[in-house]
Structure 1
Amino acid sequence: MIPREHHWQPALGGDGEAIGLDDLRQSIAIILKTPLGSDPLRPDFGSNLARYIDYPINRARPHVVRETVAAIRRWEPRVTVTKVTVTQEGDAGIKVSVVFRLADGLEATAEVMPGE
């Protein structure tokens, strides 16, 4: 069990809080969905995933994996990325599945649709 006081934030898109693993999943989604340079107070926050949205999936996959690992490694020190899977969703979207591990060894998955 992850102590609440260490892992929580206001939940996006609704009332309440994102607690524990939901907090980490939300944090990863925010990092990956924020285009690099779009936050004026932290211009180096986010990722370059938006750059590869329109690439064919075979060409995009290695770039998306690299960008995902680099962004999470930099901005979410509470987790270690163990696996990134990129799949095509619909005609023009991609889904990024991130398997991550906490310091206590607990492993979890976060799924992000960068184009949404």
Structure 2
Amino acid sequence: MPGMSALPATHHWQPALGRDGVVEDVDDIRQAIAIILRTPQGSDPLRPDFGSRVWLYLDYPIDRARPHVVRETVEAIRRWEPRVTVTRVLVALDEAARLTITAFFKLASGVEVSMEVRPR
């Protein structure tokens, strides 16, 4: 159609956050997981169950927060991102003492992928 930009060739895409364009395939999944983990459960009035409860543990000492953040990360990804299987979650503090979650997951193709998320 004249004046319309071409849609991505894949079924899995969404508008890119914070920049122009779209994200596709693995980048789409990574962005979806980041949105899930950064959205406090209960903060979306139209989907009150959407998101994660990771934010509940952001002020805990890291040794006490780690098991809770791992559990909440796995549960949220399993519930809201059915295109992947979580294989491992690491929780650490970055150089600025901010919580960093590294999620490892398998795609339907069997490829294992990882990503880092810093909850807000």
Aligned residues: 113
Q: Is the 8 A contact 1:31 1:71 kept in 2?
A: yes
1:91 Cα deviation after fit: 5.0
Partner AA of 1:54 in structure 2: D
| Greater relative CO, 1 or 2 (CA 8 Å, sep 6+) | 1
1:92 Cα deviation after fit: 4.0
In the alignment, structure 1 residue 23 sits paired with structure 2 residue 28: yes
Gaps of 5+ in 2: 1-7
- Quick one: percent identity of the two aligned structures? 64
The equivalent of 1:62 in structure 2 is 67
Partner AA of 1:74 in structure 2: R
Over aligned residue pairs, what C-alpha RMSD do you find?
Answer: 1.3
1:104 Cα deviation after fit: 1.2
What per-residue deviation string (whole Å, max 9, x for no partner) do you get for residues 3-58 of structure 1?
94222110000100011111010000000000000000000000011111111100
The equivalent of 1:35 in structure 2 is 40
The 3-state SS of whatever aligns with 1:55 is coil
Cα distance in 1 for residues equivalent to 2:43 and 2:16: 21
Larger Rg: 2
Gaps of 5+ in 1: none
Hey, which bits of structure 1, 4+ residues long, moved more than 6 A? none
TM-score (norm 2): 0.90
